[in-house]
Chain A
């Protein structure tokens, strides 16, 4: 059974204080690993897809990396508008488009 674990559950940062979120996964044949951002009262918003170990993707202050067992979402010099819950999800090769989500990391960036 696919398992996705995110840590920490919550993260409080000062503006400009860089940090990393972790997503560890157990899946037989990774088809893709997805990062989403979710603001309160809204649906998840797609950020990145990573397909193979060693792959990296960047968007503004966010950078996602992937190894064979985990992914990291690095937030560089965060701003208050980066406050959100960040969700990680995996697709297994044999499961088509089905996503298995982790519990998320709530990030609060204080000015």
Chain B
């Protein structure tokens, strides 16, 4: 098992550009989510999905879109990048039922918006 994979590892964008952060998991997990991690603010939930075709907003969804067409993939789209979106982005996945619902995190994408 590769676990949770994310690409790219690093990305620099100019203000106004769009891009997609990729996330994939090979553990057949129903639940997938995106977090951003900022100094002093910790990890904050952007969007999540409880299964293919089902997505919902987290704590900080503005400026981001997601879709879930397959169980394995959960891409995060930045529509028009802003400097405030400079952050480290983590994708995570889990089963949905306790006691096996611990979330497994990917290695992260470090994004800088100039």
Contacts and interface: CB of A to CB of B under 8 A. Distances in A.
Contact of B102 (A43, A49, A87, A102): A49
Interface stretch (A18-26, A65-73, A75-83, A91-99): A91-99
Interface in B42-58: 42-45, 48, 50, 58
Interface string A94-111: 001111111110000000
Contact of B107 (A32, A43, A89): A43
A42 interface: yes
Interface residues of A, number: 24
B90 A44 contact: yes
A92 B33 CA distance: 16
Interface in B80-114: 90, 92, 94, 96, 98-99, 101-108
Contacts of A41: 108
A91 B90 contact: no
